[in-house]
Amino acid sequence: MAGSYDRALTVFSPDGHLFQVDYALEAVRKGSCAVGVRGADVVVLGVEKKSVLKLQDERTVKKICMLDEHVCLAFAGLSADARVLINKARIECQSHRLTVEDSVSIEYITRYIAGVQQKYTQSGGVRPFGISTLIMGFDSDKVPKLYQTDPSGVYSAWKANAIGRSSKTVREFLEKNYKEDMNKTESIKLAIRSLLEVVQTGAKNIEIAIMGTDSVIQRLELAEIEAVVAEIEAENEKEKEKSKPATSQQ
């Protein structure tokens, strides 16, 4: 089956697979979960923060990164690969501004990142990037945008998506609970609720960044996230109470 076709990247298998790219997607599936939700006038990115080791300075571990003032990226997979790709994207954002005197559109920078990821699936002696990314932001048309790229170099726009660990479960949750034209509070709540499906330990392992039409990235404080988590837990309790069978009359 896989056998000798999975070693070299530049070799198709008889059934049309590029095994290295498939294996890169496996690497992504091992990474911590990231979720993106697009509301009516806001975009929310949420990531699962791995438990910080005692002696580690948690401020140096950033999973949501700014590419330009109006573009934000979250990734799932190999962090080192992400660092390289993010650096390339940041340079491209400034280069675009220099040549065209205009900031990048979200689609442009997504296309660029996907293009870089694709290039590494067609060269000799290199391996694909082991990351999928969620890119969010606002263009000058003030419409919220959310895009996803993966190691094969494919990109598409999404209303809400999840990548990384248990992304299938989270995506199904999002499909069930996504509503069109949600406002800021509802979007944040949906993002946190979907992350709580994966993150058992609660608010301290969740990082949220939001962007509104003013194109300013806002990271939520731990206290704000805890407040929403408490709200969600209270709602869950109420649901559980309602679904409990009525106590029999004695």
Partner 1 sequence: METLFGITGKDFVITAYDSKAVASITLMKIGENKSRELNPHTLMLFSGEPGDGVHFSEYIERNIKLYGIRNGIELSPRAVASFARRELADSLRSRKPYSVNLLIAGFDVKTNKPSLYWLDHLASLADVPFAAHGYGAYYCLSLLDRYHREDITEEEGIKLLQKCVGELRSRMILNMPDFVAKVVNKDGIRLVQL
Q: Minimum distance between the CB of residue 102 and partner 1, rounded to whole angstroms?
A: 13
Q: Which member of 91, 126, 154, 222 binds partner 1 (CB under 8 A)?
A: 91
* Per CB under 8 A, 40 contacts partner 1: no
Contact call for residue 87 and partner 1 (CB under 8 A) = yes
Among 94, 123, 185, 201, binds partner 1 (CB under 8 A): 94
DSSP letters for 35-78? EEEE-SSEEEEEEEPPPPPTTS-GGG--SEEEEETTEEEEEEE-
- Please choose, out of 87-95, 149-157, 182-190, 202-210, the segment that lies near partner 1 by the rule CB under 8 A: 87-95
Task: Decide whether 89 or 195 has the Cβ nearer to partner 1.
Answer: 89
**Residue (of 139, 116, 157, 137) closest to 67 by Cα position:** 137
User: Tokens representing 31?
Assistant: 């990474």
Smallest distance, Å, CB 66 to partner 1? 6
What is the sign, positive or negative, of the torsion defined by CA atoms of 199, 48, 210, 37? negative
Beta-strand (E) ranges in the chain? 34-38, 42-48, 64-68, 71-77, 131-138, 144-149, 155-157, 160-163, 206-212, 217-219
Task: Identify the residue among 7, 30, 88, 97 touching partner 1 (CB under 8 A).
Answer: 97
Q: Which is nearer to partner 1, 60 or 200 (CB)?
A: 60
- Nearer Cβ to partner 1 (33/74): 74
Q: Does 95 bind partner 1 (CB under 8 A)?
A: yes
Q: Work out whether 98 is an interface residue with partner 1 (CB under 8 A).
A: yes
Instruction: For residue 222, give the amino acid letter.
Output: L
Residue nearer to partner 1 on the CB measure, 49 or 70: 70
Q: Is residue 48 close enough to count as binding partner 1 by CB under 8 A?
A: no
Binding mask 57-86 for partner 1 (x = CB under 8 A): ---------xxxx-----------------
Alpha carbons within 13 angstroms on the beta-carbon side of residue 28 total 28
Q: Give the nearer residue to partner 1 in terms of CB position, either 67 or 134.
A: 67
Among 42, 45, 78, 93, binds partner 1 (CB under 8 A): 93
One-letter amino acid at 52 equals V
Rg (CA), the chain: 20
Binding range to partner 1, per CB under 8 A, among 95-103, 108-116, 143-151, 187-195: 95-103
**Cα–Cα nearest to 138, from 27, 214, 50, 28:** 214
Amino acid making up residue 82: A
Report the DSSP beta bridge partners of residue 144: 138
Where do contacts with partner 1 occur on this chain (CB under 8 A)?
66-69, 87, 90-91, 93-95, 97-98
